[in-house]
Structure 1
Amino acid sequence: MKIKWMRVLALGLVLGSLGAFIVAAPQRAEALSGSDFNPGNIISDQNFFTTDAMSQNEIQAFLNAQVGTCSNTLCLNVYSMNTATTTLAFGTCATYVGEANESAARIIYKVQQACSVSAKILLVTLQKEQGLVTSKGPTEAILRKALGQGCPDGSSCDPAFYGFFLQVYSAARQFAWYGNPAGSHTSIKVGQTNAVRFHPNTACGSSNVVIQNRATAALYYYTPYQPNQAALANLGGTGDACSSYGNRNFWIQYSDWFGSPTAGKSPVGNVELISGRIGGVQVAGWALDPDTTSPIDVHVYVDGAGRSIQANLSRSDVGAHGYNVTIPVTFPGIHSVCVYGINTLGGTNTQYACSTVVTPGGSPIGGVEAVSGVDGGVAVSGWAIDPDTAQPIDVHVYVSGAAVGYRANKIRTDVGRAYPEYGNNHGFSEKITATPGVHDVCVYAINTSSGANALFGCTSVTVPGNSSITEQGRTPIGAFEAAQGVTGGINVGGWALDPDTASSIAVHIYVDGTGVPYQANKLRTDVGAAFPPYGNNHGFGETIAVTPGNHQVCVYAINTGPGTHAMLGCSAVTVPGAVGITERGRAPVGVIEAAQGGSGGVNVSGWALDPDTAASIEVHVYVDGAGSSYTANKARTDIASAFPGYGASHGFSETVSAPPGAHETCVYAINTGSGVNSLLGCHTVTVPGSVGITEQGRTPIGVLEAVHAVSGGVSVGGWALDPDTAAAITVHIYVDGVGVPYSANKSRTDIAAAFPGYGENHGFGETVSVAQGSHQVCVYAINSGAGAHASLGCSTVTVS
């Protein structure tokens, strides 16, 4: 590696050393801004490592334009020399086939072909090093060290590298070798943070730079300093005592002659983590497309199945271009994982990594956190997960050998944080009825796939109460205390217990001879005081839905063992409302009042009721033969006035998703009992928009634009649409792993303008209530048909 001290010192010192041949910054640097310089991405690999950047004729024409009239025979536009067939001792360059009387343009072109280093790079470096491209009277001394190759700072040049041909060929070999992963230059880590100095003087310091590609690394191997702010603030001149100019001038010169050195590039990035987790594969890293400041998509393929995520997580090193996602897998074991950065403009997609990873699986995990004897039974709580599924699983609780099954689906945000791919719904907290005394309690998590059921543990607990309460075949006791008619039904209340157990018992409530079972387990401290050994949980209070009119209500207390049930009483009750609405097999009635095309679908409204019931009924809306079910339960006071006794809840107003174009729309009112359904009518409706929007299995697109804390919650906003439909789609907003669905249907005229034919109803802006503290917020756009859902991104926010 050679380091050129003379080129990186302040310009005044350099002028003193190199005299008239010092290379100043290009004179049209005012077209650039120092804020545009990215020390981690000075030039793209595509613009640096190429065999066809310029033809020989293009190089010659360029030199003619730059030099003009030469004062001797050594200017690059007129210079020629004999070259020998040469194979370099190391590196990746092909053998150079020598010729007699080769022009400088031909040498540069043939070296470009042999070493796969752009002729533009060689021309800019010739100018940066010695000013040769524009010189009208160079000397032999300058030509023989044209690119400074073999000329270490502070030492004489190596004669083995003298001459224009060897300078160009050897310098290109160094550039290609610097960019070769198999080469000897590995100190600069591409895709990672590197400390890059500002100046040979170590007191001038350095800064951390993420070197984004091989080409930028090659420039730093060649000239290992970056410009400081003083050098960037004065692109046409000098900075301060700690300024260096080599890579700055390269960037300026290339931009001035050939345009942006980073345009048309493929994505860059780094995969920092591929790890097997229970139920999924975690992938993390960063990705960006140098052609845009916007986040780009990353495609993660697990076992050949792709999922699109957006690299938009904030990072201190590369900004909002990070990603960290766990992709669910359906089985434990070995999985292939490939990660790609998706190109946005010029360039191609970039494969970041492909590897294999092992995900664990097998028997359920979890634990019993509490087992205690409580009034009337045993309280058990804990959590359980089967590594083979994100769905809640069953737990079986055995009390004195008798098993009861429960679903472990209660919210446990702590479990969700520990196992984010499984979500929060894996807790259990149950009370198992048991008599007073000592009981053995065992808890099992039930396996769903590979593996076996898991015993979480066994223990003995004591249920409080009078252990003398034993089964003696006694009849239940209690009181039927209230039966009152209310709108829509009957309120029934009282208490009941079986003298042979402290556990709650069932009561059966019969209305006009039809019985429904309920549990007498509501808190009644008065009953507990009257019957101390039995506890407080023996009350009942229920509402039974019935039609208006007179009804007979009877309540029975149900014996838990041998012995008879007990009738607690009967009562006649009148339910207010129109009497005489009974099932007589009549067909529903109603009207379609409107059927018209709207953004994303067909809007249908009207009313419907079944003369045999005051309850709301269903309407089925068919669009081109595909039916959707809705309930006609919206308030319509005009219908209540027209049909006394039936109430107001008989309206409907719905939007059925449909692509742009003409659609046959029919509405049916659905009979609740015997009799036929009623066709309310059919209409041809035209949905506005582009007719070519069809289901093609495409993934939704969108942007998570804002996540910020508000009083009592988190405000989340952005937009989302499914390219396969103009209808509004659903977004799921997850806060700390708990998801809530919302419709992305808010007006966004900018989205309508950007995606003609899809309409404007694709925005979302919601406030999710959360407690104080730090929260992880993730948003997913939900596919409306075939294809995968899309992650719009995640963000961490603190609510104070």
Structure 2
Amino acid sequence: MPAAAGVRQVCLYIIDSGKDVKQGCLPVVVVAPDAAPTGVWEKATGIDQITVSGWAVYPGDLGKAVKVSVDVDGKRTTATADEASPGVGAKYPGAGDNHGYSINIPASAGTHTVCLYLAYVSTGEARQGCLVQHVVTADSPPTGVWEKSSGTNGVTVSGWAVYPGALTKPVAVMVTIDGVRHSLIAGGSSPGINSRFPGAGDSHGYSGTFPSTVGSHEVCVYLTTLDGVDIRQGCLTQKVSAPILPAGVWQRSSGAGGVTVSGWAVYPDAKTTTVKGVVTVDGVAHSFTADQNSAGVDLQYPGAGDGHGYSTTVSATAGDHEVCLYLFDRTGNRVRQGCLTQLVVAVDAPPAGVWSSVSGAGGISVAGWALYPGALTTTVPITVSIDGVRTTISANGDFAGTDAKYPGAGDNHGFSVSLPASSGSHNVCVFFSRNGGGEIQWGCTTVAVILPNSPPVGTWLSSTGFGGVTISGWALFPGALTETVSMAVQVDSSWYPLAANQYWSGTNKLYPGAGDNHGYSGTVPATPGDHEVCVYANNRDSGSTQLGCLTQNVVPAAAGTWATSDGSNGNVTVSGWALYPDKPTATADISVEIDGAAQSFPAAQPSPGVGTIFPGAGDSHGYAVAIPAAAGTHQVCVYVLGPGTTKTRLGCLSQAVTP
């Protein structure tokens, strides 16, 4: 349906027996065919030339390709944005993806000013931005950082290097130790290089260890140019120390049916060699090998890998035992890691756990966790009794934290069950089975069941009025916790729908099992001035529950003045100020249209007094621009652009222009 540009109110009706039944209304933004182009300047590089790339579209004429111009030090190159740019069609349905551009401009080595412009559909253009681009030649010398040097069982150096003019070519690195040359290639992983040198990738790291005697050594690092010349990065004196003792962490000790110890161990000076050890229980030794997976070891000792973990179980009777852990150094000596007193729990010890929640929303729900301290991986059967009617389930669901409390148990000892129950009070009891037979009553409580069709509950927590009425809060059905409540917002005599299905922290805590996706937030249209606003939560069957009413003052989304206009010296000169009342410190953009041709400018100049009208905004919201125009009378209009796609007119007039 034809419609003028701007925000239009669209309503849908169904004709039922000759009567119009209103289904709802919403604001729709209509874009003019000659709307200003939009796009993203994605990248600029400078190797032997300057390359700029990105995408651009006309929002009001999606099938038309945008003309793109690039100025390099004032010299212009023009192209058309008609190349493939994946994702544009998704952002602007119907446009397709052929709105990309990639422009190569010859440029000498050095620093250049680059500016990008997009042409309007009819006349004029909009500047996308400017930057300073440094251009390098293909044979530019390598650059890099010598990041680290260490001296454990030899000399280890590491860092990164890249050719600025040949980004994908690996740099040859030379290391000298007391004058003896060693070669490396900077082709290893080095995260972050691609962000500093776009297009290079992150495979420009180097690292190497070279045998050296104990003592001090002169170490130098060189980078080789593409012409074969070695450029020194630096030199230092590196002290090489003797091999050190094994390192590691005794992470856990538990006593479920015996003594279990676990952790990891590594030789810092021989990281790929497997460490062996012994655990003693009351003086009796039991050997183990640290060759199991232990995530994170390689992060602490790069190159070691994660295969340095250990976990071993020793049979022991119930009661206290003296447990000690030892690791062997590379010469075979036993090095004690520590000792402790470990309580061993019998396999048939009573279960432990927590009955963490019970609720009566539309039925009875029970949840918690349970395990056997003496048989950590065995599942505990749970029985729930409602007024004497018993239901048995298994405590084998996810429950974070049980493994931290009982090392080795894992986090799969949770239980959760929802059972039907009539409205009213019920006696709920929970039992768990012993590992050796029989059961233990965990506890009982009285639960009030709430019917699914109970009225919704919720709050209306905030209301603002910038360019419309914005409200937020939460609502849910206490008897149907996972269902979404439909909301209704009344502004004077107009009604607008919302859904309480957004994230809102805390609803699950108030109503366990509900989750935290019962928030609502939205902006409905309203003209400037005072409005009577009411918020309702609709019942599941019929009717609604009012969450509150108030008088909301609405102010325009954008504010400003057009203070002066002049047509002398072949220019149309306008001045004034503009800002967004809800974001007073942000810079607003204005659009000046002369006979329909628009140009945009930021309102960021000093304008004394604005900060007094809008406290906290400051006075940097003024504009004063001169736009060339032919002699004669012209129709001039000034608008504030935004927020978003909105446009607020500050005024129009006929301006006489003199030479």
TM-score, normalised via structure 1 length: 0.25
Structure label with greater radius of gyration? 1
TM-score, normalised via structure 2 length: 0.30
Greater fraction strand: 2
